[in-house]
Every structure is written in C-alpha cells, then in structure tokens.
Amino acid sequence: MSAITGPLPHGHGDAATGHTGDSGKPDNYLTHGKGIASWIFTLDHKRIGLLYMGGVLTFFAFGGFFAVALRTMLWSPHVNDNSAAATASFNLYNNFFTLHGAVMVFLFIIPAVPAIMGNFILPMQLGAKDVAFPRLNLLSLWIYWLGGLFFVYLLFSGVYHAYASAHGWQHDTLPGGFGLDTGWTFYTPYSSSKAMGSVTMAVMGVFFLGFSSILTGVNFIATMHTLRPKGMTWFRMPLFLWALYATSIMQILATPVLAITLLLLACERLVGVGIFDPRLGGDPVLFQHFFWFYSHPAVYIMILPAMGVISELMVTFSRKHIFGYNFIAMSSLAIALVSFLVWGHHMFVSGQSPLSASIFSLLTMAVAIPSAVKVFNWLGTMYKGDIRLEVPMLYALGFIYLFTIGGLTGLFLASMSTDIHLTHTYFIVAHFHYVMMGSTLFAFLGGMYYWWPKMFGRLAEKKPGVIAFIFVFVGFNLTFFPQFIMGARGMPRRYAFYLHKFEIFHRCSTIGAYTMATGLVLAGINLLMALRTGRKSPDNPWGGSTLEWATSSPPPHDNFNYTPVAGDPYDLHGLEYDEKIGGWVRNEEVAKKSREASHHHGVAPA
Amino acid sequence: MLQAPLAAIWLPDAASKNAAAYDPLFYFILGVNVFFSSLIMAMLIFFVFKYRHREGRPHDPTAGHSTALELTWTIIPTMLVLVIFYFGFRGYLHANPPQVIPNADSVTANGAMWNWTFTYANNHTDPELHLVVNKPTNMELQSADVIHDLDIPAFRMKKDVVPGRYNKEWFEPTVASAPPATVLVWHDSKPVPAAFVADEDGYYGVYPNNSEFPIATTDLVPGESLSFEKKDGKSVAVSMHYGKRVETALDFETAPEYAWKKIDFYDVYCAMYCGTGHSIMLAKCIVQTQDEFDRWMAHQIVWEPRMSYVDRGKELAGQMGCVTCHSHDGAAMTGPTWKNLYGSTVELNGAPSVLADDAYIEESILLPSKKIVKGFEDKMPQDFGTKLKPNDITALTWYMKSISANYKGDMKVGLKVGAAMKAGHPATQPTTVPAGTPSPTSEPPAVTPH
C-alpha cells in the first residue's frame, strides 16, 4: 500500500486572489432584492436553486408520505376475497405505489442534485457570475413547478377518489381525478387500454417535466464550455462538474425519447392509433424498449450527480486530494455513454431473443467496472487521510456502503439466468432502492449538509444531525434489506395482497420505513433550525478547496467580489483551521512548504 | 456445505431441473456480494479509525497513486463479471433453449385479468396447473388482455405473457407434491369433531373417503378455520375465510366419511403488474406421478353426474375466474354483479338499454367489449370463446337465472340433476382417459370472437 504516492497537484491559493477570511459583507444574494417578484422573476442561479429546492423537497415529502402510507397498508396482508371492499383497497394501494414511484422519480430524484446543487454550486465552482443562459434557467424552473403541481394534483385527486371509495364515502370525483394505477413505468397495453382514467394527463405532466430537464442540461453544458475561469482547464474542473456534464448529456439525448414515447401513448389512448396495443395491431414490448431507452439512462441521471457530490465530500473530509481524478472524470462520461446501450436488461423475461439479451447483459456488466473502480478510488482517497467525521462525511460513508450493496446485487440482475428468478420481485425493489435511495438520497443529504452553510450562512448543529443520520441509515437497511430475501423467496413486487409466509419481512420493512421517516424529519428540522439558531458560517467552514468556498457565506449577488483564478481543484496545501473565525483559511507560507515537502517535483502557486 | 443453511434463507426449495441449474450461480454471486461488501465495510471502518483526525499527526494532502493497485482493482472485477456473464448466458440458454424440448407434455397458460387457467393437450381447461414429475413440459403463454407474467419461484422460472406474442417456457419438475394430508375427519356415525384452525397459509379440500378428488377447495390464512357441522338435519363442511362462511353440502349416501385435507402445491404468481387484482392473480401448481395425473385428468373431463346446470354454472364461475370481477351478492366490483341481472334492463355506455336475456349474456361473454355497462370499464378478457364450450355458457346462464329475482321463468331444467351432463357430454364418458390424447367426446371449439 505504500505505493500510493504521487505527482504533486498543481495548486493555487485563495490568498493569491487577495480574498481571505470572513468577509461579513452586508449584501448577499438573499438580501439583494426584496419582495415576491424578486424571487419569481429572479435570474440569479442561486435563487433559482433555492426555488427548485422548495419544489423538490415539497414533492419529496409527498412521495415519502405515500411510501409510508403503502408500507402501512402492507403491515398486514389485506383481504383476498374478491369483495368490493378488497377491490377498493387494492385500487387504493395501486394508486399509492404509482404516486410514490412517479413523484419520487420525476419530481424528486431526477431534479434533486442537478437542479438544486447544480444550479447553486455549478457557476460558483466555475467562478462564474451565473449560468450561461439565466432566462432559460428561469423558464426551466417555471416548467418544473407548473408540471409538478399539475402532476401532483392529478395523482392526489386520484388517490382521494380511491381512498374515498375504499372507505365507502359519498364523494364527487375531483376534475380529472380518476386515479392513476399504472406504476411509474406506464407499461402498455395496461396503460393504453385498461388503466384508470388519468393516464393521458399524467403523461402530459411528465412530458412537460422532461422539457425542464432538457433545458437545464443545455444550460449546464453551455456554462461549462463557455464560463470556465482562467486556469481551469477541463481536467481542472471539480469532479462534481464532470458528473453534471455527463448527466446533462444524458438529459439532452434521452429525455426526448421519453417525450415521443409518451406522445405516442397519448395518441393511442385518445384517437386509437395502434402502436402499443396488440388489439389495434401494435406491439406492447415496443413501449418497453422506448421507455427504457430513456429510463435506463435516467437511472444514471439520478446516480452520477450523486457520485459527483461524494467525490467532493471525500476530498474535503479526508483532507486529501482525490485518488484517480482522471479515472473518475472519464468514468462519468463512460457510464453516460454505455448507459444508452443497456436498456434491454429490463426485458430478459419479455421474450427477447437470447442473442440480444446476451449483448445487453455483457454491456451491463461493463458498467459494473467503472462503478466498482470509483468506489475503490474513494477508498484510496481516504487512505492516509486526516478524516473528519462531520455530518456530510457520515452520509458519504453511508453512500459508499449502500452503493456497494446496491451495485453488487446488480450482478444478480445483470447475469441473464439469475435475473429470470429475481426480476419483477422485491429483490428488484430492494436493489434499486439501494442504488437510487441509499445512494442518491444519501449523497443528496450529504450535499445539503455540506453546502447548507454556503447557501444560508448558517451551520447546522452536529449532534442532532448525527442522530438523524443514524435513524436514516438504520431505518434504510431495515426497510430494504429484508426485501432482498423476500424477493429471492419469490414475493412479486406491486402486490397489495401477500401470502402469510412473507409477513415477517413486510413487517420489518414497515418498521424500517417509519424509522427512516423519523430520521428524515429530524434531519429536516435540524437543517431548518440552523437557519434561526445555527452558528454563523465562515466562508469556508469545512476546509473545501473548490472555488465556491473562496467567497462569502452566503455569497454576494454576483458570487465573487473579484475575478477568481483556478488551479488544481483539490489542492488542500496550507488550508488550516482558524479557531478565531471557526473556519478554514489558506496559509500560503505553510502551503508552499507543504507542497515542497510532499513531493520533490515542487510546484508554483497559480 | 455452505449452501444448505443459506438455501433455507435465500431461495425457496429447488423443485425443478432449472432450479438445479440456477442455484449454484446464485450462490456464487451471493458469495461475491458477501465478500466484497464485507471487504469494503471493513476498509471503511478501518480507515475511519486509523486515519481519523488527531491533533499533531502529520499527513500529506497530495493525491496517492499506484498503477499496480489500480490495475488490480480493475482487472479482478472485470474477470469476475466475465465469469458471471458466461455462466449466466449458459443458464439463460438452458432456460430458453433454441429448440423445442422433445418428449414433453404441452400446456397453454392463459393469463387474463385476474386469473390463470391452463389448457391441456386434450383441450381441457383448468384453474390448477398439474404437471408430471420428472417429465418436461413445454408451456405456451397467452394473454387475453394485458401483459402478465407466469412465475413459479420453486422452478426458478418466469416469463412475460404478452398479448399478441407466443412466449414459451419449459420446466421439468423434480419433486412431486406431497399427497393431501388429513387434518380433520368426520364419520357419519360419530360426533362432529372440533374445528381445525390453520396456523399458516394453506390450500385445503373436502375429500369423500372413497375419492382422491376434493368436492370443494379453499385457501386459508392463519387463524381461519375448517369444520364440519350439522345444520337443520343437513351435514355441511364449513370453511371460515375472512369472516365469511362457505358451506359445502355433504352426502353420506355416497360416502360415509369426509375429510378436510391439506393440499401440497407450488405457488404460481403473476409477476407483471396488471391492475386491481394483480396480487390475487395466483394459481396452484401440483406435481404428480403420471398415474396420478392421468386419474386427475380423467376425473376433470367428465361432469359430476350429480350436477345440475345451476351447480355447474356456479362451479364454472369459480374455475374460469368470473367471480374475480362479478359478485353474486349485489356488490359492484370491477364488473357488474350477477345478482338480479338476468331479466333486468341494463343501461349501457353510449347505446340504448338492453334486456339481459340469453342472447345478451352469451354476447357479453364472447364479445365483452361490444356492450359496456354504464359505470364500468372495458376490462373483461376477450378469450372466453376459446375456453368455454357452448354448453358451459348455458350452464352459466342458468346459474345467473338462479340468482336473479328478475327471472320469472321456470327453473326446472336448470335444477334438474344430470340434465346438464346429458346435454353436454354423453353419459358414456369413459372414466379413464390417458392424458395427452384428446377426449373422444370433446366438443368442437366454440365460436371464437374475431
């Protein structure tokens, strides 16, 4: 292991830019402009990021509420007796899981990291004033909010209808509120011919949301191409930006396919054009191909930005330059590329030919390698570091562990024969929750704790944050680990009723869901309390080396009061904790000595 | 052997050739999983402990680098996934062979919202899947409406049932189901025994002592009970299911003793989400010897000689899954109730009302999309024309008449015992017909829609 030594990174210091310590300037982006109009019509990427945060977290709460609701329904196996009451409760459950999945995927997890942290942090890590197209950015925010509210209204009115029916209430159906029970995947021909009434409108909602995603992607790519500061070559971009770059490419290329697919679905429902429904001469499996051509890359749209966050956290809290920068940067692009070619692994049991299945399987295996190596790179970053167990680091460690399990269990599903028995069961549910929720959500929370002081200028209290983390981590594993076993034992997914032999697993899972929900509420309270009672944050509370830590917390309207110059993004030399201000500042003298001491090559500050 | 205790936790008991081919790769990948997740967990904990921040401990913030290490951790996972890919590919070909398995039985599985029926080589359709042990079965999968998925975990087999496609799967069961196990016996001359209370999920049947076939079956969940009762001079077998009582009349003239027996079976699930009743789209797979299978098939293809049209109609409503959507107690479910339907005036969506007579009932069964009752959606499977014989429709219609106050006619024909059989099958039905040969008396196929 002593082989881990290396070339000296190219460095730069804050002091070189003349900006050190607490600025304490009265004007920041939060106070720059008052009134509702100054928010609704803002072109400031930071405010847009916060407005996204409002939406994303609201929808996350909805999705989470319905996750808890459906886990509550699964506490006992229901009634299986063909009665009207059983039918109504099945419909209610089906609405619940559809709502949970659709809201979490389209309104929470896809926009979570890119739209909140991407918008807020990306221009600042570039040392830029804003994104390349601020007005386009505002447009994509509006589309997100409108699409989201429309979508949530539809789902809610449907759930209201199903709930009232299940409880035998006399009620009027809300306009459009026929319910949606297709699952978030909208599989045909169920969705096109048999499902409840709101499919067409829900599909339009997703269609609009897709545009928001595309516009954000375009904006980010343009920003990274045109607004990098002096000294920041492509290979000096922070890894979070590389992750966002790869994500944006996927958003631009894959989302239109979803839009077209959903339009075709709407055509079939509205005017009976036979595309997917065999009764009209269509092919239902064609829909699955179209759908996963978007939705498999979408899985990486969800995870890549999260991996970017983790790279940032690992550096800052291990006090060590990232291990294998080039590999991590390139693997993001490689994963983005290969992710377009693996969609068929969702269809191993659909009657697909063994030849195409084997190609999809092999390509899927290929994604496993860069993912595995990323994990080893993060471990390599921790090796011989100076690890600080702050709350964001706890989430990053949680991420690595859960992502490892999520990724490794993917081997069962990428391998063609083992997939046959496990697909469509709770094993799949557990697998993608480990990857999507265990990984993306943990990275999201870690990122929130990490950048919260930069956003609002206040630090959350550590102790409640740690307690919340423990609840979330334990609750998560208690919820989803039993689902692996239950799935391997044959429990199919999307079942309102289940056989008694699965009860113990379902009950563990439900207890876990409540534990996790408690943890998430605690974390939310912890962050919100910080706004009122938290310690004032210095510019650089964690010792981060990327450019956003070189300006005040919260930043001024224009982000920087000087033109920043970039060097190696992960140059930690000379960053020292200053007790007086409770934050980190760079001591150029120490930095110089440290650089010289660490390697005989030596390097000049930028 | 590590597999034995692990198997008890992770996979249901293997019961087919596929399962025997499947399980080793599963446990190999499980081993890889356990090894690497433990390794990474251990490294995380060790690093956090070893390299945690301590005052005065010098550390170098420069990036580490080691070509040898990076190559190692790239090459080892690459080799592992290639090995896994190879065996996965082999297993997949085993489960989806390019050629048809020779010397096999053939069964068609019909998936419909929300029940399974299985059509055997002799054209008999049954809600239970009966297979012969150590003999391969080729199964063709057909859907009447949306995508379903025939999933038998004990066989490690699963395949989507896609409308408009002829998907196939095959299996060779290697473990026969245990013979039915008696849980409660009642002899005519003895006092009524105490009820039996189930402590786990189970499938039970009432068996006359002179028959190996049940006259009624029921599913129980823990806490539910089975019993025998004497009521108003009549003897009945009772099952209590979700607070509801289901009674089966016993006839001590034909058998002096009846028993509730637990029937051993393999779970058959629908694994592809298909709407409201997805989670109750379950079926039972019973694996038997060839002899047992032949006797069972012979028993199935003759009507119970003591049956009337009404009884046969009621039986069919259960077997064909009609009761999944149509109640007979007036409750509106996915489809309209059958209670008081016959002879009533039915309001339709976008069409004038019609009288529910024989012609309407027949059309609604064969071409369900033609007339949609107001307040309901077009959800009924389209394939009953291929599953029901014309006489079955007559029986179903008589059953509907029997539960309708709107039917003012005579019930004599409908209730006459044996009439239905005479009308449907000649009474000269042989009692043993080898499986696999078409029944000599089977009806010509019914009119198929479209």
Q: If we measure between CA atoms, which residue out of B444, B438, B427 comes closest to residue B390?
A: B444
In contact, A265 and A228? CB cutoff 8 Å: no
Q: What is the pTM of this model?
A: 0.86
Output the pLDDT for position B131.
96
Q: What is the per-residue pLDDT across A239-269, written as a single tens digit (0 to 9) for each? A: 999 999 999 999 999 889 988 888 888 888 8
Output the pLDDT for position A196.
65
Quick check: B437 pLDDT over 50? no
Distance from CA of A418 to the nearest CA of B (A): 6
Phi, psi of A577, deg, nearest 5: -80, 130
Output the pLDDT for position B441.
40
| Residue B450 touches partner A, C-beta closer than 8 Å | no
Chain B residues inside the 8 Å CB shell of A421? 11, 22, 26, 153, 156-158
Task: Please judge whether A408 and B146 are an interchain contact, meaning their C-beta atoms are less than 8 angstroms apart.
Answer: no
Quick check: A408 pLDDT over 70? yes
Confidence of residue B428 (pLDDT cuts 50, 70, 90): very low
Side-by-side strand order, sheet with B167-171? B125-126, B115-119, B105-112, B137-143, B167-171
Interface test with A, best of B159, B273, B281, B324 (most A CBs within 10 A): B273
In contact, A116 and A144? CB cutoff 8 Å: no
| Residue A586 touches partner B, C-beta closer than 8 Å | no
Output the pLDDT for position A82.
64
Quick check: A44 pLDDT over 50? yes
Confidence of residue B48 (pLDDT cuts 50, 70, 90): very high
Whats the size of chain B, residue-wise?
Answer: 450
Average per-residue pLDDT in chain B?
A: 84
Chain A residues inside the 8 Å CB shell of B32? 408, 411
* A30 contacts: CB under 8 Å, gap ≥ 6: A456, A554
User: Chain A 382-401, CB below 8 Å of chain B: which residues?
Assistant: 382-389, 397, 400-401
Quick check: B65 pLDDT over 70? yes
> Which has more pLDDT, B142 or B375?
B142
Average per-residue pLDDT in chain A?
A: 87
The Cβ of residue B34 has, within 10 Å, a number of other Cβ atoms equal to: 12
| Residue B49 touches partner A, C-beta closer than 8 Å | no
Q: What is the per-residue pLDDT across A111-135, written as a single tens digit (0 to 9) for each? A: 999 999 999 999 999 999 999 999 9
By three-state DSSP, how is residue B158 classified? strand
Quick check: A598 pLDDT over 80? no
Output the pLDDT for position A20.
40
Quick check: A1 pLDDT over 70? no
Q: What is the per-residue pLDDT across B318-340, written as a single tens digit (0 to 9) for each? A: 888 888 888 888 887 888 999 99
Q: If we measure between CA atoms, which residue out of B155, A530, B147 comes closest to residue B139?
A: B155
Confidence of residue B221 (pLDDT cuts 50, 70, 90): confident
**Beta-carbon-side half-sphere exposure of residue B31 (alpha carbons within 13 Å):** 10
Q: What is the per-residue pLDDT across B88-130, written as a single tens digit (0 to 9) for each? A: 999 999 998 888 888 889 999 999 988 999 999 888 888 999 9
Q: What percent of chain B has pLDDT over 90?
A: 36
Backbone region of residue A515 per phi and psi (left: phi > 0; alpha: psi in -120 to 50; beta: other values): alpha
Tally A–B CB contacts below 8 A: 333
Q: What percent of chain A has pLDDT over 90?
A: 59
The Cβ of residue A142 has, within 10 Å, a number of other Cβ atoms equal to: 14
Residue B59: Cβ-neighbour burial (10 angstroms; 0-12, 13-18, 19+): middle
In contact, B362 and B445? CB cutoff 8 Å: no
Quick check: B241 pLDDT over 70? yes
Chain A residues inside the 8 Å CB shell of B82? 365
Output the pLDDT for position A81.
65
Task: Please judge whether A349 and B158 are an interchain contact, meaning their C-beta atoms are less than 8 angstroms apart.
Answer: yes
Quick check: B420 pLDDT over 50? no
Residue by residue, DSSP assigns B216-261 as EEEEE-TT-EEEEEEETTEEEEEEEETTEEEEEE--TTT-SEEEEE
Q: Which of A69-83, A166-180, B12-26 has the highest mean pLDDT?
A: B12-26
Confidence of residue A64 (pLDDT cuts 50, 70, 90): very high
Q: Residue B61: which of A424, A493, A572 has the nearest Cβ? A: A572
Task: Please judge whether B43 and A379 are an interchain contact, meaning their C-beta atoms are less than 8 angstroms apart.
Answer: yes
Q: What is the per-residue pLDDT across A513-536, written as a single tens digit (0 to 9) for each? A: 999 999 999 999 999 999 999 999
User: Chain B 325-384, CB below 8 Å of chain A: which residues?
Assistant: 325, 327, 331-334, 377-379, 382
Confidence of residue A416 (pLDDT cuts 50, 70, 90): very high
Interface test with B, best of A173, A402, A417, A542 (most B CBs within 10 A): A417
Chain A residues inside the 8 Å CB shell of B381? none
Q: Which of A360-374, A447-461, A564-578 has the highest mean pLDDT?
A: A447-461
Confidence of residue A538 (pLDDT cuts 50, 70, 90): very high
Q: What is the per-residue pLDDT across A299-325, written as a single tens digit (0 to 9) for each? A: 899 999 999 999 999 999 999 999 989
User: Chain A 295-324, CB below 8 Å of chain B: which residues?
Assistant: 318-324
Output the pLDDT for position B442.
39
